[in-house]
Amino acid sequence: MSRRPWWRGLGHRALLVIATVYCVFPIYYMLVQSLKSAQEDVFGNPLIVMNPTFENFEELFEQRGETRGFVGRALRRSYPVLDWLENTIVVFAGSVAVTLVASVLAAYALGRLQPPGFRWWRRIIFASYVIPHTILFVPLYQVIITLHLENNLLALLVVYPTLALPFCVWILSAYFQQLPREVEESALVEGAGRAKAFFQILLPMSRPVMVAAGIFTIGTIASDFTLASVFLLDAHSKTIPAGLATMEVALDELLAVAGINLMAIPVVLICAVFARGYVRGLTAAMVEGA
């Protein structure tokens, strides 16, 4: 039996290191910039921070007047970051909850109850996911105006679940379809109703796929600022991505980078913590016939 050449293993490791650096470098660069003072940002090394400071994050949350001057700190504006943070948490939590509840119910109906033509229904739902959101932008805006939800967080709670729902329904219905029916049928024989069997047996078994659906929903919401920027025009009603787009980067570059970290790092940590569950969920859902 011939052994694999040593240089092939070294090449694989080198490619892995390059891919890791390529993915992690933008996060590292943003973190380094957010920890620099204004002086070090101008005269220091762009890739290294020698004297890390949290003054950018502290200044980001300071509430100063809107009066602008020509020198010093008065040149900078204050931003309602606390309002943005509160709005972002509400939108994230509400959108993920609505998406998971709706996708679980729809996926159970398609994958478990299997109505006539359920495979075609599932394909149609998934096909709607690949439609570019920019095509739907004008109709969605008209719907928001008709419902009088402009400048209201409910606008995002209505729209955001529609962005992730097709994919979540697809993977969850595929998972429900391939689960052994004997487990659920044994509970029904012992006297449990279909609802009890669903909540006490199927849902706990579906935890990895639900984690995958939740992380996908978070990533979809976090990557959007266009819808939030248009639907939420008031400065105090914006989310963090939409609020950062209103910053004057030429004057508040380090504050903007600190705000980006405020948004990005928690999302990265959530994905890192649940990475194994995310992979397990996608693997469990990717069965033949999905």
Euclidean distance between CA atoms 128 and 208, whole angstroms: 24
What's the distance, CA 99 to chain centroid? 12
Q: Is 66 a residue whose pLDDT tops 50?
A: no
SS3 label, residue 228: helix
Euclidean distance between CA atoms 280 and 212, whole angstroms: 8
Q: Which of 84-88, 153-157, 280-284 has the lowest mean pLDDT?
A: 280-284
Q: Is 226 a residue whose pLDDT tops 70?
A: yes
Taking only the tens place, the pLDDT of each residue in 198-220 is 887 888 888 888 888 888 888 88
Euclidean distance between CA atoms 215 and 267, whole angstroms: 9
Q: Which tokens hold the place of 51?
A: 């004297």
Task: For Cα atoms 147, 127, 216, give the angle at the middle one, nearest 5 degrees.
Answer: 75
Nearest by Cα to 47 from 79, 24, 69, 14: 24
Taking only the tens place, the pLDDT of each residue in 14-64 is 888 899 899 888 888 888 888 888 777 777 787 888 888 888 887 777 755
Euclidean distance between CA atoms 49 and 42, whole angstroms: 12
User: Please, which pLDDT band fits residue 260 given cuts at 50, 70 and 90?
Assistant: confident
Residue 286's pLDDT is what?
A: 65
Residue the block writes with tokens 């012992």: 190
CA 112 to each of CA 53, 125, 129, 172, 198: distance values in angstroms, whole numbers, following the listed order: 54, 16, 22, 10, 10
Please report how the helices 253-273 and 81-108 are oriented relative to each other, as an axis angle in degrees rounded to 10. Answer: 30
What's the distance, CA 243 to chain centroid? 17
Amino acid sitting at position 119: R
Q: Cβ distance 198 to 254 under 8 Å?
A: no
Euclidean distance between CA atoms 45 and 218, whole angstroms: 34
CA 248 to each of CA 59, 240, 243, 253: distance values in angstroms, whole numbers, following the listed order: 15, 15, 11, 8
Residues 6+ apart with CB under 8 A from 67: 74
Mean pLDDT of all residues belonging to the chain: 79
Give this prediction's pTM: 0.79
Residue the block writes with tokens 């709607």: 128
What's the distance, CA 187 to chain centroid? 36
Euclidean distance between CA atoms 248 and 230, whole angstroms: 18
